[in-house]
Amino acid sequence: MRGLLVGRMQPFHRGHLQVIKRVLGEVDELIICIGSAQLSHSLRDPFTAGERVMMLTKALSENGIPASSYYIIPVQDIECNALWVAHIKMLTPPFDRVYSGNPLVQRLFSEDGYEVTSPPLFYRDRYSGTEVRRRMLDDGDWRSLLPDSVVEVIEEINGVERIKHLAKKEVSELV
């Protein structure tokens, strides 16, 4: 049994990690698609697909999840939602089941005949990319929301400085 999970992972946080651990208890292999792979360097999507691959690879290794149990595949967005499932299928190994809490993702896969499961949310008020990025901008405690290895990646790439710089630029453009 092979499962599929799609997420922007901006950045990869402890909620994503909990979902992956849980889903790996139900499937033999998991395909993890990094969505919106073409986006980076914006306040909503600050990290490149390559940086997100690093975050995932290191966090899964840190948590003892064997590399033989998953595939990490960056996927760019496309204009047509109606063609998106075919686009995903073109880029991934075959899969039997889809895991997502995102209503659009659920809808598109279920209309294509896939069994779609909505995994329970873990502390969604804290474990969300929006909250992590907000805390980075406000000098809050963003580190506790992320696996330690993801904190290291963000420090290596000066991720917080990037977000703060982008926020400054966007403000000055409004003036």
Can you say how many angstroms the Cα of residue 53 is from the centroid of all Cα atoms in its chain? 9
Separation CA 85–CA 11 (nearest Å): 23
CB of 172 to ligand NAD, least distance (A): 28
* Residue 122 touches ligand NAD, criterion: CB under 6 A: yes
Q: Which is nearer to ligand NAD, 35 or 159 (CB)?
A: 35
* Residues near 56 by beta carbon (within 8 Å), at least 6 away in sequence: 9, 12, 32, 34, 72
Q: Which is nearer to ligand NAD, 100 or 149 (CB)?
A: 100
Binding residues for ligand NAD restricted to 81-110, rule: CB under 6 A = 81, 84, 100-102, 104-105, 108
CB of 84 to ligand NAD, least distance (A): 4
- 82 half-sphere exposure, CB direction, 13 A CA radius: 0
Candidates 8-16, 46-54, 142-150, 152-160: pick the segment binding ligand NAD (CB under 6 A): 8-16
CB of 50 to ligand NAD, least distance (A): 15
Q: Which residues bind ligand NAD (CB under 6 A)?
A: 6-9, 15-16, 18-19, 35-36, 77-78, 81, 84, 100-102, 104-105, 108, 119, 121-124, 127-129
